[in-house]
Amino acid sequence: MNRLSLRLLLGVVLLVPTAAPGQHVSASDSAKKTMFTARDAVTAGVITATSAVISIFDERIARWTQTPRVQGGSSRQDAADALTTINEVPLTIAAGATWAIGRLTGQRTVADIGLHTGEALVLTLTAAEIVRGTLGRMRPRVSPDDSYDFQYGKGFTEFDARAYPSIHSAVAFTVAAALSEEIRHRKPGAARIAAPLLYGAALVPGITRMYLNQHWTSDIVAGAALGALIGNRIVHYTHTHRPSRLDRALLRVAVLPDGRIGVVTSLWAMGDGRWAMNHER
């Protein structure tokens, strides 16, 4: 592998240890206090190798996506433009709205899903922006003949230098992973059907970005890996550990005196001026 490929390899490593979509940790892992486990390092190696190999074919694939046969007519291009609007903005707004609706209607499960998906999206966006801002990989429409054109640091100021990783792909897989894990914790049987559908849908934003010549294939793969990791880990961790301060504040979750986890449903004043708490499991 040439030195340019190694640059992309470094980019994947910088993403953080990566878990495969749908990967779940054992009970022993659940007891650990860290969100990311040693198993993620192994998976990161696989993802790194895969992304590096794919990067070798980035230019060839990009040229193919821009051929008249693939591009088709205006209707196909209009559809791609419409689908590419599925990005971090509407997905984050949707997560926030889901949490708000859940809180306002007293549906804790709805609020829980909205909050944790929103947390995962914020963390994904932060990580992706740091990586692509630092690496400054040029988009294929700007550098069609050099997929290893890195302008280090320029990604923070120039849109054309923010190819790697794809945020469209990252946030789509974050949502897919978060929802799959939420379903798995509540109805494991349903997750076997829902997860493939969710991950299949998550492929769409990335494919449209390649069609529009905004990202290389390896950008899409790296974004998907990052999103799948964070979405899976955020939800799994929150369901196997004590609620964080954010969960307690936004979901009205409380740690009861006997160590159980309860949901605050109301506060009422006792005769001596103290406040007592009604709760449910």
Nearest-angstrom CA–CA distance, 86 and 171: 9
Domain assignment of residue 255, yes or no: yes
- Mean pLDDT across 186-205: 92
**Token digits for 101?**
């609706």
- 260 and 172 share a domain? no
- CA gap 202, 174 in Å, rounded: 9
Residue 246 lies in a domain: no
pLDDT in tens, 77-101: 889 988 888 888 999 999 999 989 9
The two three-digit tokens of residue 71, written as one number: 């591009």
Q: Are residues 164 and 64 in the same domain?
A: yes
pLDDT confidence bin for 249, thresholds 50/70/90: low
Instruction: Give the model's pLDDT for residue 5.
Output: 41
C-alpha distance from residue 134 to each of 165, 185, 255, 261 (Å) = 11, 36, 41, 41
Residue 149 lies in a domain: yes
194 and 159 part of one domain: yes
Question: For position 33, what pLDDT does the model report?
Answer: 62
Same domain flag for 102 and 235: yes
| pTM metric for this prediction | 0.76
Per-residue model confidence as pLDDT tens digits over 207-223:
999 999 999 999 999 99
Residues 203 and 272 both lie in one domain: no
In-domain check, residue 28: yes
User: Do 268 and 186 share a structural domain?
Assistant: no
pLDDT at 109: 86
Encode pLDDT of 106-141 as tens digits: 888 888 899 999 999 999 999 999 999 999 999 999
Same structural domain, 150 and 257: no
Residue 93 lies in a domain: yes
Residue 181 shares a structural domain with residue 264 = no
Residues 261 and 155 in one domain: no
Q: Indicate the length of the chain as a whole number.
A: 281
Q: Tell me: the pLDDT tens digits for 24-83? A: 434 444 445 666 677 767 776 777 778 888 999 999 999 999 999 999 888 888 899 888
Calpha distance 102→104 (Å, rounded)? 6
- pLDDT category of residue 252 using cuts at 50, 70 and 90: low
Which residue range forms the structural domain that includes residue 277?
Answer: 251-281
260 and 229 within one domain: no
**What pLDDT was estimated at residue 277?**
37
Residue that is written with structure tokens 């009205």 in the block: 252
Asked if residue 18 lies in contact with residue 226, where contact means CB atoms within 8 angstroms, the answer is yes
H helices within the chain, ranges in order? Answer: 3-14, 27-30, 38-55, 58-65, 68-71, 74-83, 88-105, 108-135, 167-186, 188-211, 217-240, 245-251
CATH number at residue 152: 1.20.144
| pLDDT value of residue 34 | 65
Predicted local distance difference test score (pLDDT) of residue 261: 41
Average pLDDT over the chain, rounded to an integer: 78
More confident residue, 190 or 246: 190
What percent of the chain is modeled with pLDDT above 90?
47
User: Do 276 and 197 share a domain, yes or no?
Assistant: no
Report the number of distinct structural domains present in the chain.
2
Residue 143 lies in a domain: yes
Identify whether residues 77 and 209 lie together within a single domain. Answer: yes
